[in-house]
Structure 1
Amino acid sequence: MEYIFWGSNTPLLTQLRQTLSCRIVECITFQQMKSSLSHIDKIDFCVFKEKDEPEIDIPTIAQLHKLYPSLYIILISTPLSKEEKIPYLKAGVDCMISKDSSKEELHKLLSVISDFKEKEKLKEDNHTHSLAEFKLPLWKRAFDIMASSCAILILSPILIATALAILLESKGNIVYKSKRVGSNYKIFDFYKFRSMYADADKRLAEYKKLNQYTKESEEEELTNSSYAEMPLQLAISDDNAQDILLFSDNLSTSENDYLKTKQTERSNAFFKLENDPRITHVGQFIRKYSIDELPQLFNILKGDMSVVGNRPLPLYEAELLTSDEYVHRFMAPAGLTGLWQVEKRGDAGKMSAEERKQLDIKYAKEFSFGMDMKIILKTFTAFIQKENV
């Protein structure tokens, strides 16, 4: 850490230099302060500010603090009252000392400041590390470009035929675009051949009770959904009660039931319908053979996705997976195919939402070129599904 004296009191500056036995840069004016700090990338300075006129001191200190918030500013003055101290502290002064402070007091203060700066730096480094973004390996990006380009060229007859079939069967866009969340929670336009009628999104709530991953029975869901959505306004308990009651306008429920409902809501983040009535005839065919996924080759070419990765999620699903438990899922590329798609799907051809999430996390932590090649080979034998999902 380096030191600056901000003021025109030369005897006080000399006293500080003798007491601290270190180099202290002298800056008389605010412009000199800015000039001294302007060429420095990392501001790690302690500024001794001589108290002068509050009307001048406070605005300039506030401006300096705004420009360089990491500066540690020490005000040197005679003893001040509480009312006098508050404006200086609000402006950005970190502490105040007397002109008559002893050598021991000054060294102790600067030792505390130095420790504080080190801890702040360590915290900042850890925070930066924790927010480190996933970066796609060069080998994976090169493979994605090569594979998607070749696939688009080879499959162009199928792409054209599918587009014509969709156009002839029902009105609407040939390619369906939706916002999806990929690696690092990046949102992008996700391409698929339209396999549903044009108003499918509006009918989503109508068919939500058919969700393949819903664990609650229809009766429990209808009852508990009122609790999950109600605005809780009051929580009370008595000495004899074993649970806390939560009240809304016209409803009440126990805290345990409410938390259970929210947990179920979280575990049902994935939404999928069996025998979805919103799907067109062409849509049923292209879904069965995964032809509806082919426009994602253009997502791969653009860099939104990779050939192998974790499926990019709709916004309403991704927002439920932002806790530390599931954040690793997004530290991997979004993919056309992935680990859970080629794994055994459990009893009756189904895989629970939790199993899917755990396989996504496993891929994010362990993916390699060899694993990607195995998944691609398995995809060719698994893409014809026995279930209609």
Structure 2
Amino acid sequence: MASRTLSRVKFKPDLRSAKGTTIQRGLTIRFLRILTLIFLDVISLILACKLAVFLGTPLESPWTKQTSFLLLVLTVEIGLIAAQGLYKAGIFRRNYPALIKAVSLSGILLLLIAFLYEPESYVSRSTFLLFWFFSVAFICAGRCIFDVTTRLLRKKGAIRYPVFLISDIEDQESHIRLIEQENCYTVQGISDSKCLDRANREQTLEYLRNQGIVEALVSWNSIKNRLYVCWNFQTAGITLRILPTQNTIFHPKSVVWMIGEVPCMTIPAPIIAGSDFWVKRCFDLCCSIILLVILSPVYLLITLLIKLDSPGPIFFKQERIGLHCKKFKIWKFRTMVVNAEKMQKDLEAKNEIKDGVLFKLKNDPRITRVGTFLRRYSLDELPQVFNVLLGQMSLVGPRPLPLRDVEKFQTGHFIRQEVLPGITGLWQVSGRSNIDNFEDAVKLDLSYIENWSLWLDLKILLKTVQVVLRKTGAY
């Protein structure tokens, strides 16, 4: 089965890479909503301030006369409301208790600033209390007017998000009822979980992009065994909302979103799809060039040692299986005798990996004296910087494996081939060669793919230096 899969490979980009510069779908409506809410809050606060000064006890103070202090009031008030997440959609913007709390806290903060900045120029107590009361009343009234207007417009079919439902046939009716409760979606299509199968996935995503779908609402039963689907929606700029079922397990990148009274899991699309991945590629290229310049004396020294130690070429080039099972030549400093690959057949019986997918042998007789030293400090991997420059590898990612290993893959193992392979990865910094079961290594690769971020890559690179210096699990 594995060999058939390899023979049908077509070039595709890394799972985390967008097919083009894609702006998050539905961003315009969200941006206009936030701007409208901020505008209403600013008008409410200005009216509250003017009315409080007019009705309150007159007192000479720069806080009631200078425009700069009004700007400070607006900045503090709006900033605290935003910090509480009250400009988000749905129940967040309608959270009136939290809104009152944010306005009250900002009032106390402004009072403290006024005392510390101008202790001799107070605002009268009546003016302060009236400002607080009018601020709460006007802002809450503004939100209420905004909600009523929004509902009326949505009843007429305006400012609705076009969505696509993917759910098992028996659950579709209940999920549609749930979606209708929110009264902000237009369901433009429905399909069952088969549309997310490997054979249909590309066609489904292309259809969603062409139809201008902003959000995909997917039942947990349709996605739980398809971890890579989350990345496909992200790189398409489509927000993924996972509809709940019993015993739902939350995805690590998810946030909770309410549809009516029901909490649902949402995996939001980035503002610019694939931007993090292209930053990663730029980082790889820059670091590779810097490493080549800095380590050039080390390369020359290793070259000399290999030549003096044993006959044969300096570099070892081996065919490995990379992104989407595409074959490429990986570069290493030679650490074994020239006929090492032929000798492996005689050593298969001594393989220390329990399930036999990988081949590892602690005291491998094929390794040269210099090779032992190079492997202990992972110096044999240094030429793979050229693979990174050629775009065949990344600094961090699942390790590319030989054809012999990939041919023994089960179906679930191929997920690790969906992303660009790396010089180091979560597997390498979590035990290196001490891991004696391929399934454990795959779990680490899956964890990396699921939780990938630029920060995770940096942590793995730093951890790699620590592991290499300690010679943890190296042989």
The TM-score, its normalising length taken from structure 1, stands at: 0.51
Aligned to 1:228: none
Aligned to 1:368: 453
* Residue type at the aligned position of 2:415: H
* Residue type at the aligned position of 1:292: D
Aligned to 1:128: 203
Shift of 1:322: 5.2
- 2:434 corresponds to 1:359: no
Aligned equivalents of 1:165, 1:292: Cα separation in 2: 12
- 2:293 corresponds to 1:207: no
Distance 1:125 1:274, change over 3 A: closer
Contact kept, 8 Å, 2:322 with 2:421, in 1: the verdict is yes
Distance 1:337 1:388, change over 3 A: closer
Matches within 5 A, 1:253-268: 267-268=355-356
Matches within 5 A, 1:229-268: 267-268=355-356
Aligned equivalents of 1:140, 1:313: Cα separation in 2: 22
Aligned to 1:197: 337
Out of 370, 379, 387, the residue aligned to residue 299 of structure 1 is 387
Between 151-160 and 359-368, the greater mean CA deviation after superposition: 359-368
Shift of 1:344: 4.2
Shift of 1:331: 1.5
Shift of 1:320: 2.0
Aligned equivalents of 1:359, 1:305: Cα separation in 2: 18
Shift of 1:129: 4.9
Q: Once the two structures are aligned, what percentage of the paired residues are identical?
A: 38
Aligned equivalents of 1:280, 1:329: Cα separation in 2: 31
| Residues 100-130 of structure 1, C-alpha deviations (whole Å, 9 max, x = no match) | xxxxxxxxxxxxxxxxxx99xx798546359
| Residues 6-42 of structure 1, C-alpha deviations (whole Å, 9 max, x = no match) | xxxxxxxxxxxxxxxxxxxxxxxxxxxxxxxxxxxxx
Distance 1:150 1:388, change over 3 A: closer
Aligned to 1:312: 400
Give structure 1 stretches of 5+ with no counterpart: 1-117, 215-266
Out of 354, 375, 385, the residue aligned to residue 471 of structure 2 is 385
Shift of 1:316: 1.1
Distance 1:361 1:129, change over 3 A: farther
Shift of 1:329: 1.1
Aligned to 1:162: 302
Aligned equivalents of 1:295, 1:166: Cα separation in 2: 14
Contact kept, 8 Å, 1:326 with 1:361, in 2: the verdict is no
Aligned to 1:145: 285
Shift of 1:351: 4.0
Relative to total residues, which structure has the larger helix share, 1 or 2?
A: 2
Aligned to 1:286: 374
| Residues 342-383 of structure 1, C-alpha deviations (whole Å, 9 max, x = no match) | 11469xx44422111111122122211010011011011101
Instruction: Report the secondary structure of 1:190's partner residue.
Output: strand
* Residue type at the aligned position of 1:358: K
Contact kept, 8 Å, 1:275 with 1:388, in 2: the verdict is no
* Residue type at the aligned position of 2:314: I
Aligned equivalents of 1:345, 1:170: Cα separation in 2: 27
Out of 277, 282, 294, the residue aligned to residue 365 of structure 2 is 277
* Residue type at the aligned position of 2:389: L
Aligned equivalents of 1:183, 1:364: Cα separation in 2: 13
| Residues 162-211 of structure 1, C-alpha deviations (whole Å, 9 max, x = no match) | 01111111111111001101121121110000000001111001111221
Shift of 1:140: 1.2
Contact kept, 8 Å, 1:183 with 1:333, in 2: the verdict is yes
* Residue type at the aligned position of 2:203: T
Matches within 5 A, 1:111-126: 126=201
Shift of 1:388: 5.0
Instruction: Report the secondary structure of 2:313's partner residue.
Output: coil
* Residue type at the aligned position of 1:281: R
- Name which one, 1 or 2, has greater alpha-carbon Rg: 1
Aligned to 2:429: 342
Distance 1:385 1:125, change over 3 A: same
Over aligned residues, Cα RMSD in angstroms?
2.8
Give structure 2 stretches of 5+ with no counterpart: 1-190, 206-227, 236-273
Contact kept, 8 Å, 1:176 with 1:193, in 2: the verdict is yes
* Residue type at the aligned position of 2:296: S
Instruction: Report the secondary structure of 1:180's partner residue.
Output: strand
Aligned to 1:180: 320
Aligned to 1:329: 416
Distance 1:332 1:169, change over 3 A: same
Instruction: Report the secondary structure of 2:330's partner residue.
Output: strand
Contact kept, 8 Å, 1:211 with 1:274, in 2: the verdict is no
Instruction: Report the secondary structure of 1:292's partner residue.
Output: helix
Shift of 1:387: 4.2
Aligned equivalents of 2:366, 2:204: Cα separation in 1: 45
| Residues 197-254 of structure 1, C-alpha deviations (whole Å, 9 max, x = no match) | 001111001111221203xxxxxxxxxxxxxxxxxxxxxxxxxxxxxxxxxxxxxxxx
The structure showing larger relative contact order (alpha-carbon pairs under 8 Å, at least 6 residues apart) is: 2
Aligned equivalents of 1:282, 1:359: Cα separation in 2: 31
